Amino acid sequence: MSQANQDANPQLMQTTFEAQRATALAWRQSTAAERIERLERLRISLMAHKEALYEAFAADFHKPRFEVDGTEIVPSLDEIRHNIKCLKGWMRPTRIRATELTMGNSAHVQYQPRGRCLVIAPWNYPLYLMLSPLVSALAAGNTAILKPSEMAPRVAQVLASIVTKAFPAHEVALFEGALATSQALLAMPFDHIFFTGSPGRGQSSHGGSGQTPDQRHPGAGRQVPHHRGRDGRPSKGG
């Protein structure tokens, strides 16, 4: 397995992070139709890169096509379909009971997007464990910056092409690189971080970010992370 050694430009990462701020604020008012359109863009770009993904997984992992389909591409497409199907229901306000002090009034909970999200993916399932949290972030109305594993460089290059063809950088951006790239991104005040990887790097992500525990979403360190709905809750049917 080869490894990418060149880290991303810190100034470009900072500029991109700042550019996503205005988008994240505007997306707080996004409709279900607008969020579904972004998910469709991702689906179309993913499908257009299937052949490139087969070649990349063969180069990085020596995986046959049927295994790439079964463990990476099909689960990613299922994730997109599931979010599109359930999104309108997830976005509806949740009615709650009135208390003794608020009798006679109606009350509900309206979930809001976090804002700017960071997704750091591991090497072992580099496509699905990147796209699954990205799909949830987009369904929830968030922007995202993605950091693929440097241990799967060919797959990371195809991921970069998938993202670039589907989104402008002020919506979703991807930066390749090694530890220095991760550390530079973790130093930025993201509104939510989704990390899947080793305990050592997970500890680093906790210590490097200036976030409270509820703003971090560590993956379980297994093949399939816990599916989340647009509000961070376990999604129905996931």
pLDDT in tens, 68-117: 999 999 999 999 999 999 999 999 998 888 888 878 888 888 889 999 99
Per-residue confidence band for 176, with pLDDT thresholds at 50, 70 and 90 = very high
Backbone angles phi, psi at 102, to 5 degrees: -120, 20
**Does residue 193 surpass a pLDDT of 60?**
yes
The distance from CA 63 to its chain's CA centroid, rounded to whole angstroms, is 24
**Does residue 216 surpass a pLDDT of 90?**
no
Average pLDDT score over the chain: 86
Q: Which of 24-33, 73-82, 203-212 has the lowest mean pLDDT?
A: 203-212
Alpha carbon distance, N-terminus to C-terminus of the chain: 32
pLDDT in tens, 143-165: 999 999 999 999 999 999 999 99
Taking the C-alpha atoms of residue 94 and residue 172, their distance in angstroms, rounded to an integer, is 29
Model pTM score = 0.83
